[in-house]
Structures are given as structure tokens and as C-alpha cells.
Amino acid sequence: MFSALKNFIADEDGAVTVDWVVTAAAVTWLCLGALQTAQNGVDNVASALEQGISVKYNEDN
């Protein structure tokens, strides 16, 4: 009984799994943050383009 408990406590396989899960979660959050930043930049460019086209269209008519 005690030897099984000692083996269970000494086993570190689960710790490696936890490390990989934490690493995968961190990478996922970093990717989501990068995508959000890119989305904001694209939205800003699209708004500026829309305003530029609108001004040019109104000048022509």
C-alpha cells in the first residue's frame, strides 16, 4: 500500500501535462490578442477608405 502511494507521489507525468496545457493556453491567448490587434487595424483602414471614397464621390456629384 505504501509503495503504491510513494510511486503515485513520485510520478511526474501529470506535471508535464499541466505544463503543456498552460503553454498551449498562453499561446492561444497571444494569438487571440494578435488577431484582435490586426482586426482593429483593418477596421481603421476600412473606415479611412470609406471616408475617402465618400468625400471623393460627393465632390464628383
Total structural domains within the chain? 1
Question: What local confidence, expressed as pLDDT, does residue 23 receive?
Answer: 95
Residue 58 pLDDT > 90: no
DSSP assignment string, 7-21 = HHHH--HHHHHHHHH
Question: What local confidence, expressed as pLDDT, does residue 29 receive?
Answer: 97
Question: Domain limits at 30?
Answer: 1-60
Residue 12 pLDDT > 90: no
Question: What local confidence, expressed as pLDDT, does residue 59 receive?
Answer: 72
How many distinct helices (H) and strands (E) make up the chain? 2, 0
More confident residue, 47 or 6: 47
Residue 17 pLDDT > 90: no
Mean pLDDT of the chain: 86
